[in-house]
Structure 1
Amino acid sequence: MTDVIETPTPAASEPEPRVRDRADVRRQIKLIVVLALVLLAEVWFKLEIDDPTVAHLFKGPRTKDNPPVEFDGSIVSWVAVGLTAVALLLAVANLYPRGWKGVLIAVVVGLGFYGAFLMWAYADPSGAFAPAMTNPIPGTIRIATALVFGALAGVLCERAGVVNIAIEGQFIAGAFFGSVFSSFAVVSLAAIPLFWCPVFGLLGGVLAGVGVAAMLAFFSLRYHVDQVVVGVVLVAFGYGITSFLLGQIPNDRNDQFNNPELLQSVDIPVLHEIPYIGEALFGQTLLVYLAYLSVPAVWFLLFQTRWGLRVRSVGEHPKAADTVGVDPIRIRWQAVLLGGVFAGLGGASFTLSTGAFDKEMTAGLGFISLAAVIMGRWHPIYAALAAVMFGFLRNLKDQLSILDEKVPGDLLSALPYIATIIAVAGFVGRVRAPAADGQPYQKTD
């Protein structure tokens, strides 16, 4: 008789605890530290206010028919504290979401911090004049337009595997030749409508941007010179050649060569009537509307077309692309030159929106555009949003310049560059550039 050995049924075991990797732990620690610092700052802002009454002029400049509107700023301060406290609790409990939900929470917390900071900055005025908050959108759009064009230029180049440090050089060249072309059209082509004079300026900016891009492509793709070195040299070349040419313009010929016709605002029907934001977003110049359209256009070009697929493949693995019949050198040339078009438009925006060309008027914004490319993870939409954020920080310095006693102007001037360092250092998260970015490629027969 054979004995049957019964195997005991194992007791229901508890699920094994999930093992967290170090990157996840570091992410949680970063979130906790940053949110805790933000919360402490917001509480300090609130406690430092004696009189929470502040005023704003969000509807437009101060006039007899548009006086400042006063309100209780303590509500904004406490709402900011509450939002940050909730986000901090989520981070401590390791429930802070990833993806777009996490980004949305970060944006809300950032806006809350901005509001609490403004309440502290504008409350308790020390002088007889009580300043009022103004709408930050117009200044942000004005500064961010060039940054968006520069970021798109950087995305196109680096997606194809070419590092474009020369955006700053393209900006300064586009600004100079945009001014020259527009000024020359005003004086020499008097028969044409003035509307077309800034269009000639845009053409001059585009030609200058493409010219600098061609030099970048020629030295880096034809002779395999280090792309970072070529970019730095082209920035120095752009500053040098524009300073030299500006010095060659006689004082009595300044109107003919450095007095551009400015772009005029064009209101979009219905949309520009939206309260607070309509005039700021939809009462802009042609160049701003081009920036609006360029972002989705570049996204479509890179991710929805055959040419975009070839650009991305060349930036990731040019040899594999070459084996299936794609010419990596030609694709890189095309991407760099197209990037030069956008960078030239960004450069032209400096003179066609503000006036005569001046040396160093781009003020390093080309390098901030490059940081927006990294912060935006080499994606045209994310890079454009990062560029808008940098423009917002730079505009904040201009807005608060009248509050120098309470907010140091030098610290405000450094805000965009501090944000740039944070972006380049990788604090925004784990980012990966295109695998072949900056690597020369030589075809083999």
Structure 2
Amino acid sequence: MNNIESFILSTLSATVRAGTPLLFAVLGTIFTERSGVMNLGLEGFMLIGAIGGFVASYQTSSLLAAILVAMLAGAILGLVHAFFTVTLRVNQIVSGLAITMLGTGLSGLWGKDYIGVIARRFEPIKIPVLSEVPYIGQILFNHDLLVYISFIMVPLMWLFIYKTRPGLTLRAVGESPDAADAKGINVFAVRYFYTILGGSITAIGGAYLSLAYNSMWIENMTAGRGWIAIALVLFATWDPAKALI
């Protein structure tokens, strides 16, 4: 392999890693916005997931605990967003921006004692056989566990949204809440559930930054990735398969 090929493969492999936090954020937001709740708070969700996961990893040395704490933090923030937008019917744009500010502030306050320390991180795992495939193996199958989970989530989400009854319910609530309500579907409950679920998945994207992409907490480490993810949701037309591309 010459230097040019090696550079291209390394660049493409790095692109997959760099895109993983965005993919988690986009997938989570697809769930939320498919239910009819706009979410502009991705930056806040990712930051709260990043610091929550990092603190849990530092305190327990358990990566499973780190991901669960990150998801819990995202779920709580999702509950706040759902309460304001679904129950109180606050303007969804205003609520999303408030969530961004809340997540940014809380993560900065929570993380001020953890700046500069190192926590346990996700290490690359070579997939047997697949990682040895020329070119493709190095690009796709020589990453950490969270990258592989993001790959698996895409087809599972696509099948769920388009091929299952709960997915049909989700789309019905988002596209025509009045018709869904007439069919006896609890629109409030569906929107609450998917706003909370979407928040927890988005928070994994933030946790990826502090537990895999880096192994430390840096204030405002998302660096605008949440805003990029919002644009990607629109480009993907709320479709998980397009989101992966």
Q: Normalising to structure 2: TM-score of the pair?
A: 0.94
In 1: Cα distance, 2:193 partner to 2:114 partner? 38
Structure 2 contact 45–77 (Cα < 8 Å) conserved:
yes
Q: Which residue of 2 aligns with 1:231?
A: 96
In 2: Cα distance, 1:218 partner to 1:334 partner? 11
Change (3 A) 1:134 1:272: closer
Q: Which residue of 2 aligns with 1:168?
A: 43
Q: Which residue of 2 aligns with 1:86?
A: none
Q: Which residue of 1 aligns with 2:242?
A: 382
Question: Which residue identity lines up with residue 98 of structure 2 in the other structure?
Answer: V
In 1: Cα distance, 2:208 partner to 2:21 partner? 6
Q: Deviations over 1:130-156 (max 9, x none)?
A: xx6563221111111011111111111
User: CA offset at residue 208 of structure 1?
Assistant: 1.3
In 1: Cα distance, 2:118 partner to 2:114 partner? 13
SS of the residue corresponding to residue 3 of structure 2 reads: strand
In 1: Cα distance, 2:119 partner to 2:203 partner? 16
In 2: Cα distance, 1:265 partner to 1:210 partner? 27
In 2: Cα distance, 1:309 partner to 1:133 partner? 41
SS of the residue corresponding to residue 217 of structure 2 reads: coil
Report matched runs for 1:91-110 at 5 Å: none
In 1: Cα distance, 2:185 partner to 2:25 partner? 27
In 2: Cα distance, 1:237 partner to 1:56 partner? 46
User: CA offset at residue 384 of structure 1?
Assistant: 2.4
User: CA offset at residue 341 of structure 1?
Assistant: 2.2
Q: Which residue of 2 aligns with 1:43?
A: none
Q: Among residues 336, 346, 359, which one is paired with 2:219 in the alignment?
A: 359
Q: Which structure would you say has the larger RCO, counting Cα contacts within 8 Å and 6 or more residues apart?
A: 2
Q: Which residue of 1 aligns with 2:172?
A: 313
In 1: Cα distance, 2:135 partner to 2:5 partner? 6
Change (3 A) 1:319 1:184: same
Change (3 A) 1:152 1:133: closer
Q: Does 1:335 align with 2:210?
A: no
Name structure 2 gaps, 5 residues minimum: none
In 2: Cα distance, 1:212 partner to 1:58 partner? 44
Change (3 A) 1:338 1:277: same
Q: Does 1:154 align with 2:29?
A: yes
Choose 1 or 2 for highest CA Rg.
1
Q: Deviations over 1:154-196 (max 9, x none)?
A: 111111100011111110000001100000013xxxxxxxxxx
Structure 2 contact 114–217 (Cα < 8 Å) conserved:
no
In 2: Cα distance, 1:344 partner to 1:297 partner? 19
Q: Which residue of 2 aligns with 1:288?
A: 147
User: CA offset at residue 200 of structure 1?
Assistant: 1.6
User: CA offset at residue 57 of structure 1?
Assistant: 4.3
SS of the residue corresponding to residue 136 of structure 1 reads: helix
In 1: Cα distance, 2:114 partner to 2:22 partner? 32
Q: Which residue of 1 aligns with 2:3?
A: 56
Question: Which residue identity lines up with residue 45 of structure 2 in the other structure?
Answer: Q
SS of the residue corresponding to residue 58 of structure 1 reads: helix
In 2: Cα distance, 1:329 partner to 1:179 partner? 33
Name structure 1 gaps, 5 residues minimum: 1-54, 60-131, 187-196, 386-445
Structure 1 contact 262–355 (Cα < 8 Å) conserved:
yes
Q: Which residue of 2 aligns with 1:138?
A: 13
Question: Which residue identity lines up with residue 222 of structure 1 in the other structure?
Answer: T
In 2: Cα distance, 1:290 partner to 1:181 partner? 20
Q: Deviations over 1:369-404 (max 9, x none)?
A: 11111001111111222xxxxxxxxxxxxxxxxxxx
SS of the residue corresponding to residue 164 of structure 1 reads: coil
Change (3 A) 1:138 1:237: same
Q: Which residue of 2 aligns with 1:390?
A: none
SS of the residue corresponding to residue 179 of structure 1 reads: helix
In 1: Cα distance, 2:15 partner to 2:111 partner? 29
Identical amino acids, percent of aligned pairs: 33
In 1: Cα distance, 2:8 partner to 2:169 partner? 48
In 2: Cα distance, 1:323 partner to 1:175 partner? 40
Question: Which residue identity lines up with residue 230 of structure 1 in the other structure?
Answer: S
User: CA offset at residue 250 of structure 1?
Assistant: 7.4
Change (3 A) 1:373 1:133: closer
Q: Which residue of 2 aligns with 1:216?
A: 81
Question: Which residue identity lines up with residue 138 of structure 1 in the other structure?
Answer: S
Structure 1 contact 154–373 (Cα < 8 Å) conserved:
yes
Structure 2 contact 45–100 (Cα < 8 Å) conserved:
yes
Structure (1 or 2) with the greater helix fraction:
2
Q: Which residue of 2 aligns with 1:178?
A: 53
In 2: Cα distance, 1:265 partner to 1:383 partner? 23
Change (3 A) 1:350 1:321: same
Q: Normalising to structure 1: TM-score of the pair?
A: 0.53
Give the length in aligned residue pairs.
Answer: 243
Question: Which residue identity lines up with residue 365 of structure 1 in the other structure?
Answer: R
Q: Deviations over 1:192-242 (max 9, x none)?
A: xxxxx2222111211111111111101111100011101101101111111
In 1: Cα distance, 2:180 partner to 2:9 partner? 52
